[in-house]
Amino acid sequence: MFRCGIAYPRCRWIVPLLLLFAIIFDIIAIAATYGWVEDEDAKSHYASMWEQCRGRNDHWKCASLMEFSWAQAVAALMIIGLLILIVAFILSCVALCCSLNMSLLPAIAVMLIIVVILQVIALIVYPVKFNEEIFEGNYFYTWAYGFGWGATILCLGCAILFFCLPRYEDELSGIAKKKYLYSSA
């Protein structure tokens, strides 16, 4: 006999794991020294969240982007979002992994929505201001910038899960009868 159902108790471990991946993605995006943006044609200009560099081969002249207020705002928003995400991860481990504390889940969801708002603002301000003030041709937004969006999308998905999980307290604790989506006799 084949049965297919949803194993809710596994969500207790999977959701914090997704938040851990979001933290890793955020750290990669913030710490990347080689570029959020890269020149398309000559590979002679790239910029990260922290600095921009021009040159060729081994001769690069780098300047800090922290002279611009928009770059400071982007860095602050990304770092504040990361710090809130770390707190949400710790709370999710306490709420789901140590013991089942359903009252913390909506608070974690709100924290993740705040992270999403902060990081979406940062990830939109960066290309807009970069194009206004530094743009000199065609550019590609690279993997580091993509990791920032990846972390933001993971946070949004986890926020939705944290809003929905309190409805399934019995299933998460394992005391509810299993419901099968498909059963072949």
Q: What is the mean pLDDT of residues 10-14?
A: 74
Q: What is the mean pLDDT of residues 138-157?
A: 88
**How many Å separate Cα 166 from the centre of its chain?**
23
- Most trustworthy range by pLDDT among 24-28, 102-106, 127-131: 24-28
Domain 7-176 bears CATH identifier 1.20.140.150: yes
Q: Higher model confidence: residue 32 or residue 76?
A: 76
Residue 12 confidence (pLDDT): 73
4: helix, strand or coil: strand
User: What does the alpha-carbon distance between residue 91 and residue 89 come to, in Å, rounded to a whole number?
Assistant: 5
Q: Given pLDDT bands bounded at 50, 70 and 90, which one contains residue 97? A: confident
User: What does the alpha-carbon distance between residue 40 and residue 55 come to, in Å, rounded to a whole number?
Assistant: 14
Q: Based on the number of CB atoms within 10 Å of its own CB, is 179 exposed (0-12), middle (13-18) or buried (19 or more)?
A: exposed
43: DSSP letter: S
List pLDDT tens digits, range 48-68.
788 887 777 777 788 888 888
List pLDDT tens digits, range 107-131.
999 999 999 999 999 999 988 887 7
Q: What is the 3-state secondary structure (H, E, C) of 146-182?
A: HHHHHHHHHHHHHHHHHHHHHHHHHHHHCCCCCCEEE
Residue 172 confidence (pLDDT): 62
Sign, CA torsion 2/3/9/15 = positive
Residue 170 confidence (pLDDT): 56
